[in-house]
Structure 1
Amino acid sequence: MENNVEQITQKLNIIDLAIRVPNATAVSSRRVDGDEKVFKAVNAAFCNTRVFAPFHAMRRRMERLILSKGTRLCGGFAVPDECLAEVLERIKESQSDFDLDRKVLINSWPTPVDEWVAQHPTEAVEIRSIAPDAAAIGAGLSFEIRLYKAVSQAESLNEFGIRDGLAGQVSGLAYQIASEVATEARDFWRSRKEAGRAEQSARVGLNRWLGKIKSLLFIDPRLSRAVKLLEDGINALPASGMIEGNDFITLSGLISILSDPNTVLNEPVINIGKKVEVVPTVTPVPPVAVARKRVVGW
């Protein structure tokens, strides 16, 4: 199936999530053992890596937020027009948290360095020599959102042996979307498959994937297979309490299908929510001929 690249890209907005977070290490020169004139460059820590962990967590959380309504494209994230305002509003809220934590860290600097020195007193001189100041930390911590539309190359570049890169990416978007759902499904199920039961958070995950695929359904009609599969699966599961027994088996089968993009896109739709009553088959038994014994009186 050939995608209409222009029609699809007109409905998509590319979000470039530019979040920069410093490392907790810097290059230091150390003397090579046994030679006072030879030095080697090494990466040495100037604070605990946990200092920057909240900022990395925010970046992952925002990527997850965008992917709940969009997909990856052109090195960024593609979000449909109808979901853009909602996504940007939630990013704005996260950006406020980022800016607040950034300000707190800058104002507390160099306390994290002092704490690291206290834990490694023999390396105090080296740590302080490589540790950046508060201004450098502030410059290294940045949050920026860039928004743009992607336009396909209209002119033929065949004479240069160059293909339209955007068209190539758009043609693979359905598989990209199914793969993103598959990755999340496998990660979600890894810690639950051996339990034999699941909490209602499983339905939350299913609804999240359903919302994502529905928002991107215009990209490829094959995605409707996944919509049907998820809707049937969600309707088949209990709306409250633990998911166990036959319901857990249904959930397990649904996750197994979602974990394979090829199955989701190309196999016939399975009505996973249909309850089938199994009626035992009774095989008729042919009559048995019974020999009659003739008794002769005396």
Structure 2
Amino acid sequence: MQQILDQMVVAKLDVRIWGGRKKLRKEDLHLADGSVLPPEDLASLGSKKITDPRELAEFHRLKKEGERTCLKVGTRFLGGFAIPKAAADSVKDELDRIGSSFESAKKAFLDRYDEAVESWVVKHPEFDAAIRKAVDPVEVVAAALSFDYTLFRVVSADDDSLDRKAVGLSDGLFREIAQDAQDFLERSLMGRAILTRKALNPLRRIRAKLEGLSFLDHRVQPIVDMLDDGLSRIPLQGGLQSWHMGWLVAVMALLSDPEKIKQYGDGLLGSWDPWKAAAAVDPDDPPAAQESDNPDPADTDVEAEEEEEEEEADCLWF
């Protein structure tokens, strides 16, 4: 097990986002004559917003971006993300960039904090007093907004507690891959008649993540090899033909099931071939591998691979 731990580092994000809310009190409410609030042991009053929640949207977006950065190459582990040692520097650089953006957004928000509160009061004049008496000083808000992270290595102790966690790493990886594949199937593949080459980008990201974490489980490499074979048969230019589309759908359908991923990796699916599934779309012979023409699938169309997640939706209706 230590061999696995030696090949990875853990990235732990520490992101704090001011809630912009305070507990709602009885005196904040304007009750009609005869209205009675339920007792506290029966129901709570919830909270009241101090500013427009949209003011904090950028901080939540940056937190999600930090998580996506780690999940792009890693998998969840010990409250953080296990990432390959080889990817540690690139993850660090990206988290530093996100942290810098977070600080810029923080400064901009704090500079207009008083104005944001006043705008919220103007929007809800009937609750002017309730909002104003709950407003936090700007120093408190500043202390409650931060983006930081820690990268560290893990060493197993004498007991087996960490080993139990590490054994589950590959199961977590397969679940994450399955969720990504399922989301892409439902959002961007099903019902499409024409796909642009950008439709390959999510698959390339999945492939890169699997290759980087192949040390977690022997069943990962056969999946990577299958993806490499398929990508090598797709021309470097032009749109995707029906054969390619059929192959992509078949592969994503396989990857959307964690158990099927394990079965394929263990060689338990017999002669299953995604190109046979593609034959149902186009009866012509499937494209042969183009070993001399196509570079390593991991390096193909690098610029396109670096585009944002939103590009996955760039699939055209016929």
In the superposition, the TM-score normalised over structure 1's length comes to: 0.81
| Residues 246, 275 of structure 2: 8 Å contact kept | no
Amino acid at match of 1:272: P
Q: Give the match's secondary structure for 1:83.
A: helix
1:193-212 alignment, distance < 5 Å: 193-212=190-209
| Residues 52, 116 of structure 2: 8 Å contact kept | yes
Query: 1:201 Cα deviation (Å)?
Result: 2.6
1:1-298 alignment, distance < 5 Å: 5-31=1-27, 33=31, 34=34, 41-155=45-159, 164-192=160-188, 193-243=190-240, 245-267=242-264, 268=267, 270-272=272-274
Q: Which residue in 1 is equivalent to 2:308? A: none
| Residues 200, 243 of structure 1: 8 Å contact kept | yes
- CA distance, structure 1, for counterparts of residue 127 and residue 237 of structure 2: 56
- CA distance, structure 1, for counterparts of residue 207 and residue 3 of structure 2: 23
Residues 23-79 of structure 1, C-alpha deviation per residue, up to 9 Å, x if partnerless? 232113124744799997430111111111111111111111111111111111111
| Residues 80, 215 of structure 1: 8 Å contact kept | yes
Moved over 6 A (4+): 35-40, 274-279
Q: Give the match's secondary structure for 2:73.
A: coil
In the superposition, the TM-score normalised over structure 2's length comes to: 0.77
Amino acid at match of 1:115: S
CA RMSD after TM alignment: 2.5
- Identical counterparts, % of pairs: 25
Structure 2 unpaired stretches of 5+: 286-318
**Cα distance 1:30–1:242, how it changes in 2: closer, same or farther (>3 A)?**
farther
Amino acid at match of 2:207: L
**What is the count of residue pairs matched by the alignment?**
267
Amino acid at match of 1:148: F
| Residues 18, 144 of structure 1: 8 Å contact kept | yes
Query: 1:196 Cα deviation (Å)?
Result: 2.9
Q: Which residue in 2 is equivalent to 1:293? A: none
| Residues 181, 209 of structure 1: 8 Å contact kept | yes
- CA distance, structure 2, for counterparts of residue 127 and residue 235 of structure 1: 61
- CA distance, structure 1, for counterparts of residue 26 and residue 214 of structure 2: 57
| Residues 186, 255 of structure 1: 8 Å contact kept | yes
Amino acid at match of 2:17: V
**Cα distance 1:36–1:176, how it changes in 2: closer, same or farther (>3 A)?**
closer
